[in-house]
Amino acid sequence: MSDEVVYWLQQTLNALQLGSIYALIALGYTMVYGILTMINFAHGDVFMIGAFFCFLLSSMLGLTFAPTLLLTMLGTALLGVVIERLAYKPLRQAPRVSAIITALGVGLFLENFTLALSPYPKHIPMLLENVTWNLHGISLSSIQAVIISLSLGLMLLLDYIVHRTSIGMAMRAISWDKTYVPLMGIPVDLIISITFAIGAGLAGAAGTMYALAYPVIDPYMGITVGWKAFICAVVGGIGNIRGAMVGAFILGGVEIMVVAFFPSTYRDFVAFTLLMLLIVIRPYGILGKPRIQKV
């Protein structure tokens, strides 16, 4: 292959890795919005807590990759459920602004709680043996391969749960209507808890993989990544699960390609201008459907 082709394939691989991580976080935003029409601004910080769980499990307890990933997902899933029960459930009937402010508060609490424990950036030990394969000049590291394949696997699993199981059907029903669905015998609180658990669990997986790829973590790491994932969810059509994945890979691709073409200072400027244009053309997102508000 020519150098040019190798270069672009390499950048595509970089984009896939970045997009996978955005997608896992964006799913949490979109699921919660879909079911409660609420923007969970603390989600980026749940992702950060996931990375810190990964640090505690791998560097303090010395666990290997698979148990670290599973326990981190379990831990953040639990955290997601606790946050929903303590902070959001009492406000379910309150004006939507109250819930959003509470979410911002929960996010700040998580950041500053972690900061109070230790302000130092943490280094994650090498959890996977780092092998770099050379395929006709394209280098693929074992970490990239794991991140991309594991994220795609989790996304397929989620897609299956939402579209092919009874829990998924209940989720979709609640997102459709909250007044009559409980009358059909669907346990609304339980389904909402499960939604938060799945969303936060995916954020935990994203945190672990992020910590693998970028092994220096700090309490503020969730802010920017969280915003970007939220934007991915909006671009894809908030509330739509496949849309969040599409949005994430678009943002990852644009970010990498802008840096490949222009000075990296233009990255966020070009990326977000493109995304805004997309929103102007399709206000409900790429896969989103306009919701008719009945009076």
Partner 1 sequence: MRKTISLAPLFVVITTLLLASCGDPTNKKDTIKVGLIVELTGDMPAVGASSRNAAQLAVSEINAAGGIAISGKPHQVELIIEDNASKADQSVAAANKLISQDNVVAIVGPNASLGAIPAAEIAEYNKTLLITPWSTNPKTTLDTSSGKPKRYVFRACYTDPFEGRVLARFVIDKLGAKKAAVLYDVASEAPKSQADQFRQTFTELGGQTVAFETYTTGDRDFSAQLTKIKSTGPDIVFLPAYYNDVGLIAQQARRAGINQPLVGSDAWSSPELIKLSGGGVEGDYFANHYATDIATPTAKKFIAAYGNKYSNTPDDVAALTYDAMGLLFEALKKSPTLDRIAVRDAMSAISDYNGVTGTIKFTTDSGDPVKSAVIMQVKGDKFVWVMNAAP
Residue 241: CB minimum distance to partner 1, A: 24
| 163 interacts with partner 1 by CB under 8 A | no
**221 lines the binding site for partner 1 (CB under 8 A):** yes
- Tell me if 120 contacts partner 1 by CB under 8 A: yes
Q: Which is nearer to partner 1, 219 or 237 (CB)?
A: 219
Taking CA atoms, 15 is separated from 22, 166, 215, 242, 256, in Å, by 11, 35, 18, 18, 6
How do 216-217 and 122-123 pair as beta strands? antiparallel
Amino acid identity of residue 291, one-letter, is R
Considering the complex, what minimum distance in angstroms separates the CB of residue 30 from partner 1? 22
Residue 148 near residue 142, CB atoms below 8 Å: no
215 makes contact with partner 1 (CB under 8 A):
yes
Q: Looking only at residues 7 through 66 of this chain, which bind partner 1 when binding is defined by CB under 8 A?
A: 7, 10-11, 14, 17-18
Convert residues 135-154 into a mask of x (bound to partner 1 by CB under 8 A) and - (unbound). Answer: ----x-x-x-----------
Element (H, E) at 75: helix 65-83
Judge contact between 212 and 91, C-beta under 8 A: no
User: Going by C-beta distance under 8 Å and a sequence separation of 6 or more, which residues neighbour residue 122?
Assistant: 52, 55, 59, 216, 217, 218
Q: How far is the CB of 29 from partner 1 (least distance, A)?
A: 20
Site map for partner 1, 242-261, x if CB under 8 A? -------------xxx-xx-
The CB-of-25 to partner 1 minimum distance in angstroms stands at 13
**Per CB under 8 A, does 126 bind partner 1?**
yes
CB of 140 to partner 1, least distance (A): 10
Does 119 bind partner 1 (CB under 8 A)? Our answer is yes
What tokens were used for 70?
């599973």
Residue closest to 47 by CA, chosen among 91, 79, 95, 11: 79
CA 252, CA 271: separation in Å to the nearest integer? 9
Does the protein bind partner 1 through residue 3 (CB under 8 A)? yes
Closer to partner 1 by Cβ: residue 14 or 76: 14
Contacts 24+ apart (CB under 8 A), 277-283: 278/235, 279/234, 279/235
Residues near partner 1 (CB under 8 A)? 3, 7, 10-11, 14, 17-18, 115, 119-121, 123, 125-126, 130, 132, 134, 139, 141, 143, 210, 213-216, 218, 220-221, 224-225, 255-257, 259-260, 263-265, 267-268
